[in-house]
Structures are given as structure tokens and as C-alpha cells.
């Protein structure tokens, strides 16, 4: 049999864990790490995870050290400048960007955090 290197994660079979990536644990939020490695000192702070924000949830204002790409899977997110990001929309935050977001409806997001390799 061929070694595909594939991992399949069945979302319906995984439980949401606590979300605390911007500081203290956010009650009612969820996190499912896929390939994500928590940041230093032991890990890279890069990878992919699923994030769930409950209705009325708001992120803690934060800075991006590297890139963050995400796609809204369900619901919508409103960035601090009033921009509404809907299901199916893809967003990229560049290193050095600062923001916070909220969701009136609740939403689920696929997030990829990464750093460009230095040449």
C-alpha cells in the first residue's frame, strides 16, 4: 500500500477544546488544532486549526507576528473597522497587523498561521 502521508480529521468526531491563543481562555469558544503547533519556546506557532466563536463573542485585540490566513466556514465575523466577513470569504492578515473581531451570529473558521521563510 502506498504511503500517502494523509491525515483525515472527521470534524463530527472531534470535540472542541478550550480557546486561549490570544491570552486567557475565552468561555464558549472552541479550538481544534489540526497541524497547529503552539508558539515558542518549544513550538513554531505555525499551522492550521479550527476556531469557533459563539454569538456575541469578541477576540482580544492582538498583533500578528507572521501571516494569518482564514476562511469563514459558517456565520460571519465583523472586524474592528466594520468590515463584515461572511461564510466563504478568505482573509489574510500580514505580519505587523493589529486588530480585533467580533461575531454577532457566531462563526466557525479554518485558520492557517505561518511565517515566510527568510532567504
- Domains of the chain, by residue range, sit at 27-114
pLDDT at 63: 87
pLDDT in tens, 44-102: 667 889 999 999 999 888 888 888 999 999 999 999 999 999 999 999 999 999 989 99
Confidence of residue 2 (pLDDT cuts 50, 70, 90): confident
Mean pLDDT estimate for the chain: 87
What end-to-end distance do the CA atoms of the chain give, in Å? Answer: 37
Helix (H) or strand (E) holding 43, with range, is: none
- Note the CATH number of domain 27-114: 2.60.120.10
d(CA 20, CA 32): 12
Amino acid at each position: 500500500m502506498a504511503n500517502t502521508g494523509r491525515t483525515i480529521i472527521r470534524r463530527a468526531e472531534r470535540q472542541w477544546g478550550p480557546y486561549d491563543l490570544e491570552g486567557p481562555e475565552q468561555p464558549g469558544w472552541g479550538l481544534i488544532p489540526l497541524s497547529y503547533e503552539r508558539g515558542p519556546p518549544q513550538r513554531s506557532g505555525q499551522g492550521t486549526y479550527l476556531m469557533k466563536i459563539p454569538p456575541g463573542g469578541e477576540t482580544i485585540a492582538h498583533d500578528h507576528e507572521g501571516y494569518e490566513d482564514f476562511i469563514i466556514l459558517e456565520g460571519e465575523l465583523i472586524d474592528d473597522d466594520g468590515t463584515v466577513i461572511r461564510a466563504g470569504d478568505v482573509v489574510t492578515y500580514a505580519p505587523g497587523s493589529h486588530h480585533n473581531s467580533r461575531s454577532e451570529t457566531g462563526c466557525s473558521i479554518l485558520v492557517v498561521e505561518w511565517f515566510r521563510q527568510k532567504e
